[in-house]
């Protein structure tokens, strides 16, 4: 909680209860929810919070680099409280997204520089497959 407070103070941004709630929710889950899922999860405790407020809170949290926005090609974004550089994998059947731990890709930006004239600023690595739950359902 100290991190979000100090970052918002440094950036001269208002730290609202809604922003705190969205941040806490993302930090409490290993799932990669969409804005709609975050909204539904917080509705009971914050019945007056709108979906637009959740979108704005997520946008701000991404801008101050407290949350990672990921796009696995579904037409909407998902959010990850884990901001460390790491790849993701998505199930092509149920669309579940998980982190892939144990693979170091922190030096990938440096390696790519040898193959392009671009100034590499960031990367996101996604893998696609079938999760064990979906695989077992087919059997």
pLDDT digits (tens, 9 = 90+) for 83-118: 888 899 999 999 999 999 888 787 888 889 889 999
Among 38, 68, 83, residue at a domain's last position: 83
pLDDT tens digit string along 26-59?
Answer: 999 999 999 999 999 999 999 999 999 999 999 9
Number of domains the chain is built from: 2
- Token code pair at residue 33: 């929810």
Within this chain, do residues 74 and 94 fall inside the same structural domain, yes or no?
no
Distance between CA 118 and CA 133 in Å, rounded? 40
CATH number for the domain that contains residue 130: 3.30.1490.190
Side-chain-side CA neighbours of residue 29 (13 Å): 19
Same domain, 11 and 77: yes
What CATH number is given to the structural domain containing 36? 1.10.10.10
Place of tokens 């579940």: 96
Please tell me whether residues 7 and 70 are part of one structural domain.
yes
pTM of the model: 0.84
- Residue 106 CA to residue 49 CA, distance in Å, equals 37
* Residue 91 and residue 42 share a domain: no
């Amino acid at each position: 909680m100290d991190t979000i407070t100090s970052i918002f103070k440094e950036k001269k941004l208002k730290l609202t209860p809604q922003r705190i709630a969205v941040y806490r929710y993302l930090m409490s889950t290993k799932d990669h929810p969409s804005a709609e899922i975050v909204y539904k999860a917080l509705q009971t405790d914050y019945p007056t919070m709108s979906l637009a407020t959740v979108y704005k809170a997520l946008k701000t949290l991404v801008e101050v680099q407290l949350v990672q926005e990921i796009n696995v090609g579904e037409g909407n974004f998902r959010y990850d409280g884990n901001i460390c550089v790491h790849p993701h994998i998505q199930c092509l059947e149920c669309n579940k997204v998980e982190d892939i731990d144990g693979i170091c890709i922190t030096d990938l930006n440096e390696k790519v520089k040898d193959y392009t004239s671009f100034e590499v600023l960031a990367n996101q690595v996604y893998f696609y497959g079938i999760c064990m739950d979906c695989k077992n359902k087919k059997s």
